[in-house]
């Protein structure tokens, strides 16, 4: 088995500024379900920042990161869903789900936290294959 791990830390104000400056920002980065969940909160920005960090951490765990063609589209292929207990989970779609299958990743966990002006997320994946293979 192989372990894949990613972490991301972001300033909540960066997400607030981007969201307030560009109306389309939220729709490019977050799914409709994520926006609906966060917008129900009195202050949606810590929750949006946490989800942004989780998406970045997921890309890092896959070894993709923010560079390269199509990265923004991949944000829509990673969705953070909250269980009734509040525990976050990741749902993967499109190329992200294909990569999960190619790496034979059986388990994906995410942890999100926010305090004061920062949000942080870690993603850990357990898989059978090592590295991304072309195919």
| 55-80 confidence digits (pLDDT tens) | 999 999 998 865 554 566 789 999 99
Q: Over pLDDT 70: what percentage of the chain?
A: 89
Residue 53 has pLDDT above 50, yes or no: yes
Phi and psi at 103, nearest 5°, equal -85, 0
Residue 9 has pLDDT above 80, yes or no: yes
| Measured distance CA(48)–CA(65) in Å, rounded | 19
Q: Map tokens 């896959």 to a residue.
A: 62
Which residue ranges make up each domain of the chain?
2-127
Which fold would CATH assign to domain 2-127? Ribosomal Protein L22; Chain A (3.90.470)
Mean pLDDT, residues 15-29: 88
| 98-135 confidence digits (pLDDT tens) | 999 998 999 999 999 999 999 999 999 998 855 555 43
Strand, coil or helix: what is 92?
strand
Q: Say how many C-beta atoms besides its own lie within 10 A of residue 133's C-beta.
A: 8
| Measured distance CA(132)–CA(99) in Å, rounded | 8
Q: Report pTM.
A: 0.89
Q: Which residues are catalytic?
A: 60, 114
5 bridge partner residues: 124
Q: How is residue 105 written in tokens?
A: 């990743």
Q: Over pLDDT 90: what percentage of the chain?
A: 71
Q: What is the CA radius of gyration of the chain?
A: 14
Q: pLDDT value at position 135?
A: 39
Q: pLDDT value at position 131?
A: 54
| Measured distance CA(12)–CA(2) in Å, rounded | 32
């Amino acid at each position: 088995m192989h372990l894949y791990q990613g972490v991301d830390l972001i300033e909540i104000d960066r997400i607030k500024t981007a969201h307030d400056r560009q109306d389309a920002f939220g729709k490019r980065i977050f799914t409709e379900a994520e926006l609906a969940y966060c917008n129900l909160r009195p202050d949606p920005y810590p929750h949006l920042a946490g989800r942004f960090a989780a998406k970045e951490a997921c890309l890092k765990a896959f070894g993709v990161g923010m560079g390269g063609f199509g990265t923004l589209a991949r944000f829509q292929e990673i969705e953070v869903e909250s269980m009734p207990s509040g525990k976050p989970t990741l749902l993967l779609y499109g190329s992200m789900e294909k990569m999960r299958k190619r790496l034979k990743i059986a388990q994906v966990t995410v942890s999100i936290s926010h305090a004061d002006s920062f949000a942080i997320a870690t993603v850990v994946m357990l898989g059978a294959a090592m590295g991304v293979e072309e195919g």
